[in-house]
Structure 1
C-alpha cells in the first residue's frame, strides 16, 4: 500500500509530466484532440525524416498554444551556420526550450556528439532558456557507463536539466540517481517513462535505444513481462511507486516525468489523468 508521502511525490511528478511525440503526419491532430494546452510536448528528431519534420511540427504546436521542445540531434546538424539558422528560426517562433541528444545518425558535419553542439549554442549567446541533455540509467549500446556519467559532468555548464532514457528496473533508477549526485551532477532530472504502449513496440524500442539490463530484468520477471503483453500494455504505475521513495529524497531533484508516448497520445493522457485522480483520493 502506498503511503501519503509517496503519493504526494507521484502527484507532483505526474503534474509535471511532459510528452515525447514522433513527427508523423497524424501527430498534430492527435495532440490537438487529446492534450490540454498546459502539457509540454517534445518532438523527436528522426534521421529518416530529417530535422525539418521536427522543427515544422514544433512550430505548428507552438502556434496552437503548447510549450514545445524540439530535439536538436547533434549529428543531424551540419555546423554552426545551420545551428544559428535553426536557433534564429525557433526563437522567432517563440520556442525557448530544446533537447540536445547526440542522435543515432552518422555525423552530417561538425558535431560528433551533443557536447560540441552545446558549446556552439553557448558561443551563439545561449538563445534557449531551457536545454535538456540525455541521461542513461543503463548501459548504452555504444557508450561505456563511466563515459555517460562523465559526459553529463562535462555538459553541466551548457544544459539546464537531464532527461533519463527508458528503464524498467526501479533499482537501477535509484542507484543511477545516487551515482549522479555523488559525482556532483546536480542538474534537475526528468525521469523517462514509457506510456501505455503495445509490448512489441516497447520492447523493440528498448532494444534499439539501449536498455539491455532491462530486457534481462524482464526475462527474470515473468509477471512483468506478462503485464507488458496484456491489453493496455505497460502503464508504469508499479514502476513509479517503487521509484517514489528515491525520487522524493532531498537532493534527488527529480522535477517531473518525460513520457515516451510512441504516439499513443490519447492513451497516455488517459492513463496520467486516471492515475492522478486515484492518487488524489489516497
Structure 2
C-alpha cells in the first residue's frame, strides 16, 4: 500500500483555479491527469496539461473520443502535445452528444495507431460497476478490443471493495493483462460526491453507501470520505501478483489540498506501522 500511495496520481478538473492549487500543494514528481468536459471543450484540457508540463509535472490529458471532430483534428492534437513534450494520454469515450467522427474510444485508438502517434503511454477506462449507458459485458469486451492499442487500464470510481475484487478477477480471467491503475476517492465532500455519483457511473456504490450508514456518516464528517479503508479492503486483490495493480488514480474533484494532506498523513501512518 505504501508504494501505491506514494506513486498515486491525481485527477483534476480544468477549472480557472486548479493550476494554482496544484502548484501550491502537489510536488512536481506526482503525475496529474486533466479531465475533458463537453461544456468546456478539449482546448481547456490541453491548455492546462501543457501549462502543468511547463511547470515540470507529468501531465496526462484526457482525449475524450466523442469530443474530437475528426482524424485531421486528432492528428493536430497529437502534433500539438508532442511539441509540448507530453508523452502520456488517457482515452475515454466521453459524454459529448452528438459525437464527432468517433462514437467511442476504440475508433479513436484505431486512428491514433494509423497516424503513428508518439505517446509512450495510452490509458483506457475500466468500469468495475455498471456504466450508465453501456452494459457490463460490453465494458469487459471493450477492454479486450482496445488492449492492443493501450498500455494500461484506469478504473472508474467505486466505493465497494467487493465489486473491485470481483471485477479484477473477472478481467484477468478474460485474458486482459494490461497493468491497472485503481481508481480511488480522495477526501471528497458528501454533497460533491453525491452530485457526481450517478453521472460518472457509480450509482451502485451510492446505494452501497446508503446501506452502510457508518461509511455514509464518514462522508458527512469534516474532510469527507477517503480511500484508506477502501484500500485496506482491496488489499488481497492489490497484493496478488496476477492482479497487476500498478498504481492508484485518485479522483480529487479538485479538492487538491485535502487530497495532498490525506496522502501525506497516510504515508506517515504506513511508515510508522512498518
Q: Same fold (TM over 0.5)?
A: yes
Q: Which residue of 2 aligns with 1:279?
A: 270
In the alignment, structure 1 residue 137 sits paired with structure 2 residue 128:
yes
Once residues 57 and 220 of structure 2 are traced to their aligned partners in structure 1, the CA distance between those partners, rounded to angstroms, is 33
SS of structure 1 residue aligned to 2:10: strand
In the alignment, structure 1 residue 184 sits paired with structure 2 residue 175:
yes
Task: Answer whether contact 1:16 1:255 (CA < 8 A) is retained.
Answer: no
Match of 2:77 among 77, 86, 106: 86
The root-mean-square deviation of aligned C-alpha atoms, in Å, is: 0.7
Q: Which residue of 2 aligns with 1:5?
A: none
Task: Answer whether contact 2:9 2:250 (CA < 8 A) is retained.
Answer: yes
Q: Which residue of 2 aligns with 1:112?
A: 103
In the alignment, structure 1 residue 98 sits paired with structure 2 residue 95:
no
Q: TM-score, normalised by structure 2?
A: 0.98
In the alignment, structure 1 residue 66 sits paired with structure 2 residue 60:
no
Aligned-residue offset at 1:204: 1.5
Task: Answer whether contact 2:188 2:255 (CA < 8 A) is retained.
Answer: yes
Match of 1:167 among 134, 144, 158: 158
Task: Answer whether contact 1:121 1:127 (CA < 8 A) is retained.
Answer: no
Segments of 5+ residues of structure 1 without an aligned counterpart are 1-9
SS of structure 2 residue aligned to 1:155: helix
Q: Which residue of 1 aligns with 2:37?
A: 46
How is 1:108-257 mapped onto 2 (pairs within 5 angstroms)? 108-257=99-248
Aligned-residue offset at 1:107: 3.9
Paired residues in the alignment total 273
Deviation >6 Å, runs of 4+: none
Aligned-residue offset at 1:224: 0.6
Q: Structure 1, residues 19-58: CA drift from partner, whole Å, max 9, x if none? A: 0011111011001000111010000001111000000000
Segments of 5+ residues of structure 2 without an aligned counterpart are none
